């Protein structure tokens, strides 16, 4: 463990702090960009490389072996007297929870795009996630040196696909193998990275003569854009007076924070070009904790909305956004402190669990390295040791001034498989390992199938479950075998229906009596479950309503048609009867379960299946066979695009039909096509397919 931090390092005013995330599609260059930022800010003394397994933020063995980011890593660094807390997030859709929880606690972001590929599926997904949490961001067009890099084409694609107003600040000089440097439009400077392989040193030169007209036009458009969002500057500009550089930057900063404009930088992280101007952009245009509106929450005592400003003087409020099991120190809880001061050794109140927790130690995280601190302040991201009850999305606060901050919503798992220990010795360890991993990852679910006695694990994709199984072996020493992946179907209803449940049992002495009528109504897709009581005149005493709901809920979880959970249903209890002596909670619970099953069977029961959005990139000559194969998998072809020399086929395909697709695609295209897949939505399964699924489950 590192020494306690010197206060001078952390004694940075809050307006000089930036909490940022780096988000993008898989392989756009997030981790490489993060590594360059750490190198140029003096955090590391050697350029980390994914291929060599020497990156700082991809610190897990599996990340280094596979060359992908699996868990988000937090790291603190400094640039021009500002402190930057960076979270490098995964690009792979199987780890979408890591992106979701990171964006929830960040103030700003850098979205990395591949200058040749443009806007890919996951870049669109993470962009929408950032929109949901109102995260202002910069764009970094990476890989300007790559064959097929197209600066203007990618800008058009971003405008078209994402519907944003772009403010280009760093214009590339050349492209592909001729990419030499950047022109900073506002400053009218050309920067060349010709001499130094590490990219630390660059030269300022005149703007190339052949680009002067183009740059003058681009700069004119940029200034117009900035002034259009600022009445004071617009007035000045319309009088023929150009605003000063500080005025333009200050105005652009306000527009970025208000989501009106998105600054664009370009470069090549791998070739060490263009990262320093991007860092300047983070300082100049992304918000500090002071620029973000005060965080809102609900007072659990009054139910009223309250706010907390980002100052040390306000009462404490912090959100637990990530749990990590560390082999050396145990459970780490990552916290974003929104207000007040969090002290090591202090007692805090968990307003979700309604319980007190003691903070053992506080750490500043530098990927897998830790620095111990005594206090965490408003605006900081820290990790705490010693919290036993706190989970992802919980709020920690002052018990005298409680508040519940907005939690984090995660997508439901789409795939599951059975898992069993190889030996008796692994049996006990398996339960512990699964619980620890489920605590860390909210999209990883574990349940026991009571009929078969099997343990079922569910997650966001095959890669997700494969990596978690591998982590069990490496981190917890559990050897386990897994069955074939199973699709997470769901059951739902298509019409309103009613059902009666009656449980009467006489066995001498006190009997059992429970009787209720339920009505079930379909709800829109994705709206979940709702329970309402319309019982009038005391037909069923109020204390027996919760057991009816409990019985109905259990029946829904276990399924009626084929054992899959029933979703998107409103359940109404509207009538029934009771016995003065024999009625009991257990009798009404059983009656509720019976009534639910009867009602659902009468309500046009059907199955829902997860539909995946699939994007196949293929050379033109294989497009016919690729589309033919997708059609045979019940795919709905949404369209095709041309991107450079490749053809992109976009389709919606049932997850059940896509297993083993990578092998088929390789053989169809002589290994030259690849695909990307992400969950899209649930939709009804065709009748003929339902019969097959039900028959298999019988």
Tell me, rounded to whole angstroms, the distance of Cα 308 from its chain centroid: 25
**Does residue 325 sit within a domain?**
yes
463 pLDDT more than 90:
no
Domain containing residue 194: CATH number: 3.40.50.300
Percentage with pLDDT > 90 across the chain: 25
CA-to-CA separations, 16 to 6, 80, 282, in angstroms, rounded: 18, 9, 11
With bands split at pLDDT 50, 70 and 90, how would you rate the model's confidence at 89? low
Q: What are phi and psi of 54, to 5 degrees?
A: -115, 20
30 is in an annotated binding site: yes
* pLDDT at res. 381: 84
Do 158 and 78 lie in a common domain? yes
With bands split at pLDDT 50, 70 and 90, how would you rate the model's confidence at 53? very low
458 is in an annotated binding site: no
28 is in an annotated binding site: yes
Do 331 and 394 lie in a common domain? yes
505 is in an annotated binding site: no
The residue among 458, 486, 514 that closes a domain is 486
* pLDDT at res. 599: 95
> What is the chain's mean pLDDT, rounded?
83
Do 172 and 29 lie in a common domain? yes
**Does residue 644 sit within a domain?**
yes
* pLDDT at res. 10: 56
Q: Is 94 helix (H, G, I), strand (E, B) or coil?
A: helix
Residues contacting 507, CB < 8 A, separation 6+: none
**Does residue 3 sit within a domain?**
no
Q: What's the residue count for the chain?
A: 698
Do 348 and 388 lie in a common domain? yes
The residue among 604, 628, 652 that closes a domain is 604
Q: Is 405 helix (H, G, I), strand (E, B) or coil?
A: strand
Q: What are phi and psi of 95, to 5 degrees?
A: -110, 35
Element (H, E) at 355: strand 355-358
Do 482 and 531 lie in a common domain? no
Domain containing residue 322: CATH number: 2.40.30.10
25 is in an annotated binding site: yes
Do 386 and 471 lie in a common domain? no
89 is in an annotated binding site: yes
Q: Which residue has the higher pLDDT, 630 or 237?
A: 630
109 is in an annotated binding site: no
Do 177 and 59 lie in a common domain? yes
Average pLDDT (438-445) is 81
Domain containing residue 514: CATH number: 3.30.230.10
| Token pair for 551 | 């019985």
Q: Which residue, among 571, 561, 555, 565, has the nearest Cα to 604 in the 3D structure?
A: 561
26 is in an annotated binding site: yes
Residue holding tokens 């009088």?
239
Residue span of the structural domain in which 347 resides: 295-405
Q: Give the C-alpha separation, 343 to 336, whole Å.
A: 14
Domain containing residue 464: CATH number: 3.30.70.870
**Does residue 154 sit within a domain?**
yes
**Does residue 231 sit within a domain?**
no
301 is in an annotated binding site: no
By CB atoms closer than 10 A (0-12, 13-18, 19+), residue 610 is buried
pLDDT digit string, tens, across residues 358-378: 998 888 776 556 778 888 888
582 is in an annotated binding site: no
With bands split at pLDDT 50, 70 and 90, how would you rate the model's confidence at 98? low
**Does residue 158 sit within a domain?**
yes
**Does residue 433 sit within a domain?**
yes
Domain containing residue 687: CATH number: 3.30.70.240
- Please tell me the total count of domains within the chain: 5
Average pLDDT (72-79) is 74
31 is in an annotated binding site: yes
Q: What share of the chain is helix, strand, coil (3-state, %, to 5)?
A: 30, 35, 35
464 is in an annotated binding site: no
Q: Give the C-alpha separation, 303 to 294, whole Å.
A: 18
Do 37 and 171 lie in a common domain? yes
**Does residue 591 sit within a domain?**
yes
Do 88 and 195 lie in a common domain? yes
Residue holding tokens 């994007």?
615
The residue among 572, 604, 636 that closes a domain is 604
90 is in an annotated binding site: yes
Do 666 and 568 lie in a common domain? no
Tell me the pairing of strands 108-114 and 137-142: parallel
509 is in an annotated binding site: no
Do 365 and 472 lie in a common domain? no
Quote the DSSP letter at residue 543. Answer: G
142 is in an annotated binding site: yes
Q: What are phi and psi of 625, to 5 degrees?
A: -60, -35
Quote the DSSP letter at residue 2. Answer: B
Yes or no: say if 376 and 16 are a contact pair by the CB < 8 Å rule: no
pLDDT digit string, tens, across residues 108-138: 989 889 888 888 766 777 888 788 888 899 9
Do 46 and 153 lie in a common domain? yes
């Amino acid at each position: 463990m590192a020494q306690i931090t010197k206060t001078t390092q952390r004694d940075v005013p809050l307006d000089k702090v930036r909490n940022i995330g780096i988000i993008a599609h898989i392989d756009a260059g997030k981790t490489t960009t993060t590594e360059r930022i750490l190198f140029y800010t003096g955090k590391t003394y050697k350029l980390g490389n994914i291929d060599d397994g020497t990156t700082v933020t991809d610190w897990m063995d599996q990340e280094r072996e596979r060359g992908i980011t699996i868990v988000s890593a937090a790291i603190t660094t400094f640039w021009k007297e500002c402190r930057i807390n960076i979270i490098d997030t995964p690009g792979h859709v199987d780890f979408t929870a890591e992106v979701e929880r990171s964006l929830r606690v960040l103030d700003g972001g850098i979205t990395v795009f591949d200058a040749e590929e443009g806007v890919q599926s996951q870049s669109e997904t993470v962009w929408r996630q950032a929109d949901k949490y109102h995260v202002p961001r910069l764009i970094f067009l990476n890989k300007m040196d790559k064959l097929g890099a197209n600066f203007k084409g990618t800008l058009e694609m971003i405008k078209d696909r994402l519907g944003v107003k772009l403010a280009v600040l760093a214009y590339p000089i050349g492209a592909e193998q001729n990419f030499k440097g950047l022109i900073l439009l506002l400053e009218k400077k050309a920067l060349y990275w010709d001499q130094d392989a590490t990219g630390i040193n660059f030269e300022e030169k005149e703007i190339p003569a052949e680009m002067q007209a183009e740059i003058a036009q681009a700069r004119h458009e940029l200034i117009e854009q900035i002034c259009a969002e600022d009445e004071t500057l617009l007035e000045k500009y319309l009088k023929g007076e150009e605003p000063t550089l500080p005025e333009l930057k200050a105005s652009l900063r306000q527009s970025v924070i208000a989501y009106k404009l998105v600054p664009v930088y370009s470069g090549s992280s791998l070739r060490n070009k263009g990262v320093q101007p991007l860092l300047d952009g983070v300082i100049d245009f992304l918000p500090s904790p002071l620029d973000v509106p005060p965080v809102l929450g609900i007072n659990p005592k009054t139910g009223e909305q309250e706010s907390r400003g980002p100052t040390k003087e306000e009462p404490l409020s912090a959100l637990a956004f990530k749990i990590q099991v560390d082999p050396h120190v145990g459970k780490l809880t990552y916290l974003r402190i929104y207000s007040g001061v969090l002290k090591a050794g202090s007692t805090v109140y968990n307003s979700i669990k309604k319980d007190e927790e003691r903070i053992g130690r506080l750490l500043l995280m530098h990927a897998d390295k830790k620095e111990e601190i005594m206090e965490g302040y408003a605006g900081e991201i820290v990790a705490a040791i010693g919290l036993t009850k706190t989970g992802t999305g919980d709020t920690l606060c002052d018990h005298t001034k409680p508040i519940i901050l907005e939690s984090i919503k995660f997508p439901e798992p789409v795939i599951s498989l059975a898992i069993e220990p190889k030996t008796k010795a692994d049996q006990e360890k398996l339960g512990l390992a699964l619980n620890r991993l489920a605590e860390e990852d909210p999209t990883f679910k574990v349940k026991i199938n009571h009929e078969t006695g099997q343990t079922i694990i569910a997650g966001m994709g095959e890669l997700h479950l494969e990596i978690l199984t591998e982590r069990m072996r490496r981190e917890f020493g559990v050897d386990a075998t897994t069955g074939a992946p199973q699709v997470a179907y769901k059951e739902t209803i298509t019409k309103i229906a009613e059902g009666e449940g009656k449980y009467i049992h006489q066995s001498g002495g006190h009997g059992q009596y429970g009787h209720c009528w339920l009505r079930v109504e379909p709800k829109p897709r994705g709206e979940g479950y709702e329970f309402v009581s319309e019982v009038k005149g005391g037909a069923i005493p109020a204390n027996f309503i919760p057991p009816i709901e409990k019985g109905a809920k259990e029946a829904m979880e276990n399924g009626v048609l084929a054992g899959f959970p029933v979703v998107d249903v409103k359940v109404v209890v509207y009538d029934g009867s009771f016995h003065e002596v024999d009625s009991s909670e257990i009798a009404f619970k059983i009656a509720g379960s019976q009534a639910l099953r009867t009602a659902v069977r009468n309500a046009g029961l059907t199955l829902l299946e997860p539909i995946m959005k699939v994007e196949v990139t293929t050379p033109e000559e294989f497009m016919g066979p690729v589309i033919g194969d997708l059609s045979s998998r019940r795919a709905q072809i949404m369209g095709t695009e041309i991107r450079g020399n490749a053809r992109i086929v976009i389709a919606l395909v049932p997850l059940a039909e896509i297993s083993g697709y990578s092998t088929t695609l390789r053989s169809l295209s002589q290994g030259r096509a690849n695909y990307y897949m992400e969950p899209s939505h649930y939709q009804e399964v065709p009748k003929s397919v339902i019969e097959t699924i039900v028959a298999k489950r019988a």
